Amino acid sequence: MRFKPTGQACSPRLVAAGDELWQNTRHHFGRPDVSFLTQPNIVVARVIGIIAIAAGFLLGIEGLNQPNSIWLPVALTLIVTGLCAQVYAFYRTIMYKMPSRHSQE
């Protein structure tokens, strides 16, 4: 049995989750308007920040159970590192979203 082409696709196109986030079809202030997920430094900073804060809280619980161990200072260091990573990601997101001074000409 042979099918005649109708001009339309026979099978639906499979779309990955978040596929539309990676397209840069629109422009915003003269630059392509893309999601912050296309900026690897922002994504890496957010992921490291989340992991460091979560690990810091888990180690902090262990450090509170054993007050003379090294776990409490390590936990506090991880929490501060995670917060610094989140602040950096926030700063990079704000700087990415702000219009460039050179594009206003």
Read off the pLDDT of residues 14-69 as tens digits, 9 standing for 90 and up: 445 544 444 444 555 555 555 656 788 999 999 999 999 999 999 999 999 998 99
In a domain, 7, yes or no: no
Detail the DSSP E strand segments found in 29-103: 31-32
Q: Are 47 and 101 in contact (CB under 8 A)?
A: no
The answer to whether residue 80 scores a pLDDT higher than 60 is yes
Q: Residue 48: which domain range?
A: 38-95
pLDDT band at 9; cut points 50, 70, 90? low
- Of 74, 71, 53, nearest to 62 by C-alpha is 71
- Which pLDDT belongs to residue 53? 98
In a domain, 63, yes or no: yes
Instruction: Sort residue 28 into left (φ over 0), alpha (ψ -120 to 50) or beta.
Output: beta
- Which pLDDT belongs to residue 67? 83
In a domain, 26, yes or no: no
pTM, 2 dp? 0.61
Q: How many structural domains does the chain have?
A: 1
| Amino acid found at 86 | Q
